[in-house]
Amino acid sequence: MIIRSKAPLRLGLAGGGTDVSPYSDLYGGAILNATINMYAYATIEPTDDGKITFEAPSLNIKEEYDLASELPTDGHFVLHKGVYNRIVKDYSGKPLSFKMSTYVDAPAGSGLGTSSTLVVAILGAFVEWLKLPLGEYDVAHLAYCIERCDLAMSGGKQDQYAATFGGFNFMEFSKDDKVIVNPLRIKQNFLDELSHNLLLYYTKTSRFSSKIIEAQTNNVIKKNETSIEAMHKLKEQSVMMKEAILKGNVDAMGEILDFGWRYKKQMAKEITNPALDNIYNTAKEAGATGGKVSGAGGGGFMFFYCPGVSRYKVAQALTNCGGEVKWYEFTTEGLRTWTM
């Protein structure tokens, strides 16, 4: 028997950072994101040899443990072991013997939510294997708790819900820690135009999002007025983006992205750097009307809105910045699991 799962990575289109505590706890947050056809994958093969094996074939990394109810969350495969520990503690009640293999279509630190999406994929594989009665909200919330509480990793709440639900979603994060996912019904011609005009660019750099998020968090704790006001503006941006997309005013997206990028940079100084500023300016000079870094910032993927046929000039101009344009499509499905 083989159990498999896949969960999509996401583009954070608007409101990024307002899903991060303590801002979301104090003021409430709002995010608009969309999943793309890049995935995190997990495969479980149950065994009877009394061993627990994790491997990442593409990285040539492997760890093996004797059967245990709790594994140490250090070394490689921290996310994998965090999920396993919670599954045994809350659901199976006994150690499980298996081999798990995982793969992600984008590198760590890319800004596409790779870590959280991988947690969702791993969790989904266990849900499929053990036939656990968990719905979409349950899976997303449990993935969040494992990553943020059990493993004490810094970050927000949007990625787990994006990977689980899939598609275009307007997400609301209330002060009482509730999350509401509002799927957007977008006409296909609007989606086609958006996919054509939104250019995805990999800077070929990575970053530790936790450091950027910690800086952002500290600004809220210290009541940095500039940073907090910037987050308020980004929350407004998510509503602006939602209305523009639903009404088919797709070309307004560039200006809305540009509006958001100006404020996102004020959340924490680590969000941008001279290299990213140069990429952004190069894209705008070539015809893009706006864009942003995907995720926390500091590196990874960027995307730009290119109206008309300007995407071709923008893509050509960006080749001189050391990165590469990536082809993608938006997806409508979230976490998928199956058994063979």
Q: Which residue has the higher pLDDT, 159 or 109?
A: 159
- CA–CA gap between residue 207 and residue 67 (Å, rounded): 35
- CA–CA gap between residue 207 and residue 259 (Å, rounded): 24
Residue 30's pLDDT is 96
**Which pTM was predicted?**
0.95
> Which residues are CB-neighbours of 318 under 8 A, at least 6 positions away?
201, 279, 282, 283, 286, 325
Pick the range with the lowest mean pLDDT from 61-65, 227-231, 302-306.
227-231
Q: Where are the domains of the chain?
A: 3-185, 188-326
Query: Where do we find the tokens 């709002």?
Result: 30
Residue 200's pLDDT is 97
- Whether 261 and 290 have beta carbons less than 8 Å apart is answered as yes
DSSP three-state, residue 317: helix
DSSP three-state, residue 85: helix
- Residue 187 pLDDT > 80: yes
DSSP three-state, residue 185: coil
**Residue 277: active-site member:** no
The torsion defined by the Cα of 247, 250, 253 and 254, in degrees rounded to 10, comes to -160
- CA–CA gap between residue 339 and residue 85 (Å, rounded): 22
How would residue 207 be classed by pLDDT, with cut points 50, 70 and 90? low
Q: What are the pLDDT digits (tens) for 81-92?
A: 999 999 999 999
Catalytic residue among 48, 66, 138, 159: 159
- CA–CA gap between residue 268 and residue 191 (Å, rounded): 32
How would residue 340 be classed by pLDDT, with cut points 50, 70 and 90? very high
Residue 275 CB coordination number (10 Å)? 14
- CA–CA gap between residue 158 and residue 180 (Å, rounded): 11
Residue 271's pLDDT is 86
E strands present in the chain:
3-14, 29-46, 51-56, 61-66, 98-104, 168-173, 179-183, 198-202, 290-293, 301-305, 324-326, 336-339
150 burial (CB, 10 Å; 0-12 / 13-18 / 19+) is middle
Residue 213's pLDDT is 79
**Which CATH topology does 188-326 take?**
Alpha-Beta Plaits (3.30.70)
Q: What are the pLDDT digits (tens) for 209-231?
A: 667 777 788 888 888 899 999 99
Residue 212's pLDDT is 76
DSSP three-state, residue 287: coil
Measure the CA angle with vertex 230, ends 291 and 149; round to 5°. 95
Q: Which of 114, 176, 179 is nearest to 147 (CA)?
A: 114
**Which CATH topology does 3-185 take?**
Ribosomal Protein S5; domain 2 (3.30.230)
